C-alpha cells in the first residue's frame, strides 16, 4: 500500500493504515460484499456513473442494502480524491454485509460497512506494458454463471487468485481462465480481446467474462473508428492463432500480450492495439480533462 493512501470509512476520512474493520464483519468472514475499482485522472473519477450503476446492480443481485444514496456516494468519492496527494490514482469502493453473528446466514448482519480507498495501483511493470505480457491458460476454471454470475463484482475472488498462483508458478505475467465448456472467459483481473484479420473479438459475459467498464470503452472507441467488433465465444485455438491479443481493465487499463502458452503473437504491440490505446487515452482526456495521454505511462506506450 502507498504510504499516503487515504480511506473514507463510514463517513470518516483517515490514513488507510489507520482504517479498521471488525473481525466479525461478514465481508471478512465470508466474502459477503461487493466492490468497484475506479480510476481517477486530474481528480476526476472516470466513468463514475457506469461504476455506480454496476455497484447498485451487484448490490441488488445479492440482496445487499448500500448504506448511502448515490449523491452521498459521489460526495464521498470526491472528498476521498481531494484528500489524496496525487491527481491521478485508483479507488477501491467496497460494501460489506457488516458485522453479524458467526455463521453464513446474513440475517442479523448490519448495518452495511462502506469504505473507499484511494491509492496508486499498477498491475504490471512498465517493461511488461511496453514489451507485452506473457500468459498461460490456467487449469483453474471460471465459476459458471449459474453458480456465481460474472456480472456481480463480489468479494469472492479466490477462484481468480488460484489461477494467478498458477501464473506465478509458471513464471508468467497473467493467466486466462476458461469456462466449464473449455471456452475463454477472462484473465484473473482483466477482460481479453484478440484481433484477427482487422476485427476485434472478445468473449460475451455469457461465457463468464465480467461486463468491464474499460471493455465497454474499447468496444465504443472501436465502433467509432469503424473497426469490426464481435462479442463471440473464443476457444484456446483463437488465442494461439490471433494476430494480436490484449487485456483491459480499470486497474490494468490496456496491456498488450506477447505470448500465450509459449506461442508468440504475430504482433506485439500490434497496430490495432496502438490505435485503440491512443483512442482510449483521448477518451479519458475528453472526459476528465487530464492530459492523461501525456502524463500516464499506463495509457500510452513508448513507440520503438
Peptide bond into 32 cis (omega under 30): no
Strands annotated E in the chain: 6-9, 12-15, 33-41, 44-45, 89-96, 113-119, 133-137, 174-178, 184-187, 191-196, 199-202, 229-231, 244-249, 253-260, 263-264
pLDDT of residue 17: 93
pLDDT of residue 3: 67
The secondary structure of 104-135 as a DSSP string is S--TT--SPEEEEEEE---SS-HHHHHH-EEE
In whole angstroms, give the CA distance from residue 9 to residue 14. 8
In whole angstroms, give the CA distance from residue 168 to residue 94. 27
8-state DSSP, 162: H
pTM recorded for the entire structure: 0.90
- Reading the block at residue 37, the C-alpha cell is 475499482
What length does the chain have?
Answer: 304
pLDDT of residue 292: 43
List, by residue number, the catalytic residues. 153
Distances from the Cα of 149 to the Cα of 90, 153, 210, angstroms: 25, 9, 9
- Reading the block at residue 290, the C-alpha cell is 487530464
pLDDT of residue 300: 43
Residue 29 — φ and ψ, nearest 5°? -70, -35
In the chain (304 residues long), the average pLDDT of successive 10-residue segments reads 84 94 96 96 96 97 95 97 95 97 92 96 82 95 87 92 97 96 95 96 93 96 96 96 96 94 93 96 90 45 32
Amino acid at each position: 500500500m502507498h504510504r499516503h493512501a487515504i480511506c473514507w470509512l463510514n463517513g470518516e476520512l483517515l490514513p488507510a493504515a489507520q482504517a479498521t474493520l471488525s473481525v466479525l464483519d461478514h465481508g471478512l468472514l465470508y466474502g459477503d460484499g461487493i466492490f468497484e475499482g475506479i480510476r481517477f485522472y486530474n481528480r476526476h473519477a472516470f466513468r463514475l456513473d457506469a461504476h455506480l450503476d454496476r455497484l447498485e446492480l451487484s448490490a441488488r443481485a445479492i440482496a445487499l442494502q448500500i448504506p448511502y444514496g448515490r449523491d452521498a456516494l459521489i460526495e464521498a468519492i470526491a472528498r476521498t480524491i481531494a484528500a489524496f496527494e496525487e491527481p491521478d490514482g485508483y479507488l477501491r469502493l467496497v460494501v460489506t454485509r457488516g458485522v453479524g453473528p458467526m455463521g453464513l446466514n446474513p440475517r442479523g448482519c448490519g448495518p452495511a460497512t462502506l469504505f473507499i480507498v484511494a491509492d496508486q495501483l499498477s498491475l504490471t511493470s512498465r517493461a511488461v506494458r511496453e514489451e507485452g505480457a506473457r500468459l498461460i491458460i490456467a487449469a483453474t476454471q471460471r465459476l459458471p454463471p449459474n453458480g456465481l454470475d460474472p456480472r456481480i463484482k463480489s468479494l469472492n475472488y479466490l477462484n481468480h487468485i488460484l489461477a494467478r498462483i498458477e501464473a506465478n508458478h509458471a513464471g508468467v505475467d497473467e493467466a486466462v481462465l476458461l469456462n466449464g465448456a473449455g471456452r475463454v472467459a477472462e484473465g484473473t483481473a482483466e477482460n481479453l480481446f484478440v484481433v484477427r484479420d482487422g476485427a476485434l473479438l472478445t468473449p460475451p459475459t455469457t461465457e463468464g467474462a465480467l461486463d468491464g467498464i474499460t471493455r465497454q470503452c474499447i468496444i465504443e472507441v472501436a465502433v467509432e473508428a469503424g473497426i469490426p467488433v464481435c462479442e463471440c465465444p473464443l476457444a484456446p485455438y483463437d488465442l494461439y492463432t490471433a494476430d494480436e491479443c490484449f487485456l483491459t481493465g480499470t486497474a490494468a487499463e490496456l496491456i498488450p500480450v506477447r505470448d500465450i502458452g509459449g506461442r508468440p503473437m504475430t504482433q506485439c504491440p500490434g497496430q490495432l492495439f496502438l490505435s485503440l490505446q491512443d483512442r482510449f487515452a483521448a477518451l479519458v482526456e475528453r472526459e476528465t480533462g487530464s492530459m492523461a495521454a501525456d502524463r500516464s505511462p499506463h495509457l500510452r506506450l513508448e513507440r520503438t
